Amino acid sequence: MTVIDWGYILAAFPDLMRGLGMTLMVSLLAILFSLLLGLAGCALRVSGIRPLSYAMRGYVEFIRGTPYLVQIFFVFYGLPSLGFTLSIFWSGVLALTIWASAFHIESFRAGLASVGREMHDASASLGLRRLPHALLVVAPIALRSALPSTLNTVVGTIKNSAYLQAIGLVELTFVAVDRIAQDFRSTEMFLSICVIYLVVILGVSALGHRLERRLNRPYGSR
């Protein structure tokens, strides 16, 4: 019965942009932290030290096997009763980081598995020590295989930040839902935020694909 009220979207735009700012901030921090934690977690996972390796396996299974919303509630409502009280913002960053790290651990592990024993032999025979071997040989080769699924998790981190409206973080989805509660313009608002999310994620994907092409360059032109 109605067409889309473009004027309403225009009026809501500044609010939506403020929400987007929060979405980007929380996501960016979580992406950064989760990549670092994922790397560290993967190192522990493949360290060969049994207790650490099992701890990482347990962590991954736990995060993969429980609903994301429950994890957020656990961080926001559960941790304070254990003595850790965080602001809404940092609860959000933490919950997202915990979630994404588990998936990064698995992606990185798959990447590592793609680096054969031959590379170790080559570096060892040349006298290259462990650290330069890990950084200059293993990491770039592993990253290439890990990149597509890592990109999935990065994009998932941005999308999952929408759940944080459930604990009252004023991010993009919160702004939209809040306005709908007041003005009942659900079509306009959901359409708007869908487009905004899509634009952001297409941008991130484009960056990711550029990196992928760069890493594939040595292999492409056979």
Partner 1 sequence: MDGTGAAEQGIAFDRVNKWYGQMHVLQDVTFSVAPGEKIVVCGPSGSGKSTMIRCINRLEEHQAGTIRVGGVEVNDQRRNIEQVRRRVGMVFQNFNLYPHLTILENCTLAQRWVRGTPRAEAEARAMRYLERVRIPDQARKYPGQLSGGQQQRVAIARSLCMEPEIMLFDEPTSALDPELVREVLDTMVSLAEEGMTMICVTHEMGFARQVADRVIFMDRGRIVESAHPDDFFSNPKEERSRLFLSQILH
141 contributes a contact to partner 1 by CB under 8 A: yes
Q: What is the CA radius of gyration of the chain?
A: 21
Judged by CB under 8 A, the chain residues 102 through 121 that form the site for partner 1 are: 118-119, 121
Judged by CB under 8 A, the chain residues 173 through 192 that form the site for partner 1 are: none
Would you say 42 and 109 are in contact if contact means Cβ atoms under 8 Å apart?
yes
**In angstroms, rounded to a whole number, what is the distance separating the alpha carbons of residues 140 and 132?**
12
- Which residue lies nearer to partner 1 by CB, 6 or 219? 219
Total residues at interface with partner 1 (CB under 8 A): 23
- Which residue lies nearer to partner 1 by CB, 39 or 139? 139
**Binder of partner 1 out of 132, 148, 168, 203 (CB under 8 A):** 132
Picking from 128, 127, 163, the residue whose alpha carbon sits closest to that of residue 27 is: 163
Placement of tokens 């292999």 in the chain: 219
Helix, strand, coil share (%) of the chain residues, nearest 5: 85, 0, 15
- Which residue lies nearer to partner 1 by CB, 201 or 215? 215
- Which residue lies nearer to partner 1 by CB, 108 or 163? 108
Q: How is residue 165 written in tokens?
A: 């409206």
List of residues contacting partner 1 (CB under 8 A): 118-119, 121-129, 132, 136-137, 140-141, 144, 215, 217-219, 221-222
